[in-house]
Structure 1
Amino acid sequence: MRKFEIVKAYQDVEVLVPQRQTKHSAGYDLASIEDVEIQPGEIKMIPTGLKVLLPDNEALLIFPRSSLGIKKGLMMSNSVGVIDSDYYNNENNEGHIMVPLYNFSTKKVTVSKGERVAQGIFINYLQTIDDDPNHTVRLGGFGSSDKKQ
C-alpha cells in the first residue's frame, strides 16, 4: 500500500494532496504549503505538508517540474530526491517531504502557497542476491541515512 498523508504540523491547513495531472502522467505533483522567498544564490527547503507511506521494496523519487528552471530560475539542489520507506514517521521530522530549491537567477523568486514545484514517481527497486543490508534504524529526516542506530 502506498499513500500520501498530511504531517501533524499541517493538519489544520489546506494541503494539496498530490495528483497526476493526466491519465498517462507518471508523476504526482507536489506543491508548496506556504509562501517561500528565495534570494539569488540561496537554497530553501520548500515544505509540502506531506509524508508518504510505502512498502519496503519501494521508493518515491522526487524530480523538479520541467517549468521550474525555465520560468522561475530554480532547480532542485540535490537533482533528484529519494524518499525511502523508512523515512515515513521518522523521529526527526515525521517524514515531511521537503523540496530543496536553489535560485540560480539574479532576482528574488517567490514560490507561492499551492504552487506545484516537483513531482514524485513511485518505483520498485531490486536487490542483489548477495545483499547484506545494515539492519539499523533511521534516526532522522533529511540526509540521515548515514546516521543510524
Structure 2
Amino acid sequence: MTVRGFEITTAYQAKGINLPIRATKNAAGYDFEAAEDIVIPAIWKQVIQHFTKGAEASEKILKPVLVPTGIKAYMGEDEYLQLANRSSNPLKRFITLSNGIGVIDSDYYNNPDNEGHIMFQFSNFGLTDVKIKKGERIGQGIFLPFLKADNDRAETLRTGGFGSSDQQ
C-alpha cells in the first residue's frame, strides 16, 4: 500500500533523474535536485536592463525562474508537500524562493496541465548570475498534514497545474 512518495514525470523518465531522498536519518526534508542546467539571473542586472532598455524589454526577465525537478509527489488528501529552500542557498549563492515556501497540494499530482511536475521558484539577489547544474540539490520537500476549518465547503476539483486555482 502506497501512502506518500515521489515519481519521475513522463517527460523526464529517460533523463537520469533521481528521486528525492533524506540526507540523514533524522532529516525532515527530502532533497530535490535540478533536472537540467539552468541560470538564475542576478536581479541587479535585470534592474539595470530595465532602466537602460525600457520596461517593455525587461518585463519578461523580471520574473522568478522556475527550476524543474522532473518529480511529482503523491500523498493523502489531508496532506501537502511543503517546498523549502536549502539553508546554504541564500547564504552562499544569494538565491531565495520567490514565494517564500512552495505548497504542493495532493490534487496537484497527475493534473492534466503538467502531470504534477514540481518546480522550485527562485530569485537571485546577488550581483552575478547563478548557474545550477543538473543533479545539484536545490531545495527540500517536507510532507505535512493540514487541518480544515469548521464549515469548510471547498468542492472544486483541480483542473490544471501552476496557478490553476487562481481562477476559482
Match of 2:42 among 16, 40, 43: 40
Instruction: Return the structure number with greater helix share.
Output: 2
Counterparts of 2:97 and 2:150, CA distance in 1: 34
Alpha-carbon offset, residue 100 of structure 1: 0.6
Q: How do 1:13-32 and structure 2 match up within 5 A?
A: 13-32=15-34
The CA deviation string for residues 41-84 of structure 1, in whole angstroms up to 9 with x for no partner, is: 15211000000011101000000000001111100100100000
Unaligned runs of 5+ in 2: 44-61
Name 2:102's counterpart in structure 1.
81
Could you say what secondary structure the match of 2:166 adopts? coil
Q: How do 1:89-128 and structure 2 match up within 5 A?
A: 89-128=110-149
Match of 2:156 among 117, 130, 136: 136
Counterparts of 1:108 and 1:62, CA distance in 2: 23
Alpha-carbon offset, residue 147 of structure 1: 3.0
TM-score normalised over the length of structure 2: 0.84
How many residue pairs align between the two structures? 147
* Aligned CA-pair RMSD: 1.1
Tell me if structure 2 keeps the 8 A contact 1:140–1:147.
no
Tell me if structure 2 keeps the 8 A contact 1:139–1:147.
no
Counterparts of 1:23 and 1:75, CA distance in 2: 26
Could you say what secondary structure the match of 1:49 adopts? strand
Name 2:50's counterpart in structure 1.
none
Counterparts of 2:104 and 2:110, CA distance in 1: 12
Alpha-carbon offset, residue 146 of structure 1: 2.6
- Counterpart of 2:163, as a letter, is G
Name 1:146's counterpart in structure 2.
166
Match of 1:70 among 78, 88, 91: 91
TM-score normalised over the length of structure 1: 0.94
Structure 1 residue ranges, 4+ long, deviating more than 4 angstroms after superposition: none
Match of 1:53 among 69, 74, 77: 74
Tell me if structure 2 keeps the 8 A contact 1:3–1:54.
yes
Could you say what secondary structure the match of 1:145 adopts? helix
